[in-house]
Structure 1
């Protein structure tokens, strides 16, 4: 089979068909988990998505191994897959009593059709019939072989000027039972904040090398904006307005949810609030089966500002936008109302989101101009350890650890 992505092309979480919505990939039974499998353990991931249509499609799926930079691996699929790597998606159901018809698809893997032989970065690809070259959906996941112990610490920045707004990460990796001959060439680390890829720190090398221990304790290199707690949107009901909704109207074929204009929080004091760190949950208050009975509604976001920002664009980010900054999540400035506006079609549920500014020449975005940035904000961090030994031809993931700026480290 041909590679799912051409060489030099980075694999991303992307729906290529605009009718594909509400893509979720997580551990089976744990909706807010990272899509991570432990090699040779009896674990499964669950992929689900909706297609806005009244007819089913003949979908198939495959997976592909990528390197540490999410580019296609040089390995043949027969080297990292046991079994058949081209299989049908057979689990689907039709929406019930919704204004917008959709088909809900569900897939659990690995399964009886295939097993995964190696650790590393992977993508799963959904395509119609056997048209591998034209996917409707690609999504990232990871497989880890836990060979090293990772001990992260999230702390205030040492620098006094950055202390109020930034969070600094230090990491110690112990590997007494895993030989690493040349750490500067064989290992590299990635750190992600709240599932964001735009501001991820990648290809990090150890600062100090000790006996069976690698230390990453840089001064300014491993820092993130603290940001703020996420804003929320509650559209679990279209009969009753939650506290941040101004109006709900129906204009065939959609319910339209007009949100109360969002305040800019740049100068506001920090206030702790429990959130999902950008995630969302599909839920309906009046019905029993949200996967099939939740409706799709058009949500209108509003961010007042006296004048437009130049040199870049403003986006609504979070799980609701697949953490992507593209045309679907970009706001436009209305000169008549002096407001940034965005319409986004979302399935009923409870959502977290933020506003972010991305300069035209920048890879990463900043939330500080709209949300403020505070060193005490609660954030999730994911630390990923890649290893490619001398003579190896693929990148293994030999350790993953999730931690939180306010809570103890968890696996």
Structure 2
């Protein structure tokens, strides 16, 4: 599971108690103890979880499938959650919403303090797939809704589970609710640090708060920076460099640097009849379709070239049918990347929105000594995808993009700035502002 239990002051007691219990029984006993004592879930800095039978999970602002899962508290907007369940019969899926702090730890709040309504609630909107080689059931949920309304800003997670099995969710996804109480003015540019100017981007910004009082900015304000929705390279430890009247300035020249990376590669599997560019062949091995891609090339060895992309996102579409949500089929996509010899210091991953920017076994490539290529087969729903090859060195959590994709200061990227506030008397972190900016909309000069 993604989450684990935070024991607090009982750590030593559990350690002594478990030392006398066989390993095979410790986990179940731990959860019994948790249910008796009560406590807090920690979802880590990457609160994403998906069961093996759940595919194509999308969470976005209602009406805009390519948006980030960020909504305003006032006036309250809606999010849409969509996912496919590889099953023949519908299940009684329920959902709950949990308020978290900026580190994705469950807040010390009662449910009634952040939700108006009762939980869990049922997901009642579903459809069966039609004329596809894979049978699946497509579920849709719009929230907040008449059953629940959100009362506070901050980080949230939504978890979906079968009725009576809340401790084993089939999916967990994060989202954000903002109060929009401050103005965030970004300045994305080439870094002034000459050593990184060609390959990195500098994200400076100012927080203006003329109508919101902040007494101690260094302690009360926390800022998180994300690039294209990635989790592994986010920056979350910046303090204001200059504090002026009603203004906080974050004009660093090293602490706020991101690898520029490169424009994303693209994959078009909207049609099973016609092979687009980059697809070597489409095969049907009863009962499923297979897309074999041409071996990808090192973009790090080429100069930068602008290609319009979705910054890692994807959308579902099928050319031969009308309703992509239930008529788009699932196909096996075979990625290949030529490397003379396998790496011993880390692993290659295919990353992007197609796997929620995760770095795990499901998108880790394996080396084929016969073909002398790294290879990976992924099951994807028909649509148009962005992806990249990232390298994760052993014992590291931040992936390297430059080795295969290159890294350029002029690359077009989205940057999301989250501003959290918690005073001494507050018992939760408020999300008082969010800014989503694109690097091409700002001057990249000095």
TM > 0.5 fold call: yes
Give distance in 1, aligned partners of 2:45 and 2:262. 29
Task: Check the 8 A contact 1:282/1:291 in 2, yes or no.
Answer: yes
Give how far 1:253 is off.
3.0
Task: Give the corresponding residue for 2:163.
Answer: 129
Give distance in 2, aligned partners of 1:394 and 1:205. 19
Alignment deviations for residues 234-259 of structure 1 (CA, whole Å, 9 cap, x no partner): 00001110111011111233211100
The answer to whether structure 1 residue 382 and structure 2 residue 424 are counterparts is no
Cα distance change, pair 306–220 in 1 and its aligned pair in 2 (3 A): same
Deviation beyond 3 Å, 4+ runs, structure 1: 1-9, 11-16
Task: Give the 5 Å matches for 1:87-236.
Answer: 87-236=121-270
Task: Check the 8 A contact 2:188/2:442 in 1, yes or no.
Answer: no
Give how far 1:128 is off.
0.2
Task: Check the 8 A contact 1:5/1:72 in 2, yes or no.
Answer: no
Task: Check the 8 A contact 1:13/1:322 in 2, yes or no.
Answer: no
Task: Check the 8 A contact 1:66/1:122 in 2, yes or no.
Answer: yes
Give how far 1:107 is off.
0.1
Larger radius of gyration: 2
Cα distance change, pair 4–305 in 1 and its aligned pair in 2 (3 A): farther
Alignment deviations for residues 196-246 of structure 1 (CA, whole Å, 9 cap, x no partner): 010000132111111111000111000001010000000000111011101
Give how far 1:336 is off.
1.3
Task: Give the corresponding residue for 1:330.
Answer: 364
Aligned residue among 265, 276, 290 for 1:256? 290
- RMSD of aligned Cα (Å): 1.7
Cα distance change, pair 12–161 in 1 and its aligned pair in 2 (3 A): closer
> Which segments of 5 or more consecutive residues in structure 1 lack a partner in the other structure?
none
Aligned residue among 13, 25, 37 for 2:71? 37
Task: Check the 8 A contact 1:355/1:371 in 2, yes or no.
Answer: yes
Give how far 1:319 is off.
0.5
Task: Give the corresponding residue for 2:352.
Answer: 318
Give distance in 2, aligned partners of 1:91 and 1:329. 30
SS in 2 for 1:328: helix
SS in 2 for 1:406: helix
Cα distance change, pair 401–379 in 1 and its aligned pair in 2 (3 A): same
Give how far 1:362 is off.
1.4
Cα distance change, pair 224–153 in 1 and its aligned pair in 2 (3 A): same
Moved more, 204-213 or 2-11: 2-11
The answer to whether structure 1 residue 356 and structure 2 residue 386 are counterparts is no
Task: Give the corresponding residue for 1:20.
Answer: 54
Task: Check the 8 A contact 1:145/1:399 in 2, yes or no.
Answer: yes
Task: Give the 5 Å matches for 1:275-286.
Answer: 275-286=309-320
Task: Give the corresponding residue for 1:308.
Answer: 342
Task: Give the 5 Å matches for 1:234-273.
Answer: 234-273=268-307
Give how far 1:310 is off.
2.2
Task: Check the 8 A contact 1:124/1:138 in 2, yes or no.
Answer: yes
Give distance in 2, aligned partners of 1:324 and 1:5. 28
The answer to whether structure 1 residue 68 and structure 2 residue 102 are counterparts is yes
Give how far 1:141 is off.
0.2
Give how far 1:37 is off.
1.3
Aligned residue among 379, 382, 407 for 2:441? 407
TM-score (normalised: structure 1): 0.97
Task: Check the 8 A contact 1:356/1:365 in 2, yes or no.
Answer: yes
Task: Give the corresponding residue for 2:332.
Answer: 298
SS in 1 for 2:41: coil
SS in 1 for 2:134: coil
Give distance in 1, aligned partners of 2:116 and 2:298. 52
Residue correspondences, number: 409
> Which segments of 5 or more consecutive residues in structure 2 lack a partner in the other structure?
1-34
Task: Give the corresponding residue for 2:7.
Answer: none
Task: Check the 8 A contact 2:45/2:231 in 1, yes or no.
Answer: no
Give how far 1:7 is off.
3.3
The answer to whether structure 1 residue 82 and structure 2 residue 116 are counterparts is yes
Give how far 1:9 is off.
3.9
Give distance in 2, aligned partners of 1:95 and 1:128. 20
Moved more, 4-13 or 208-217: 4-13
TM-score (normalised: structure 2): 0.89
Give distance in 1, aligned partners of 2:312 and 2:59. 15
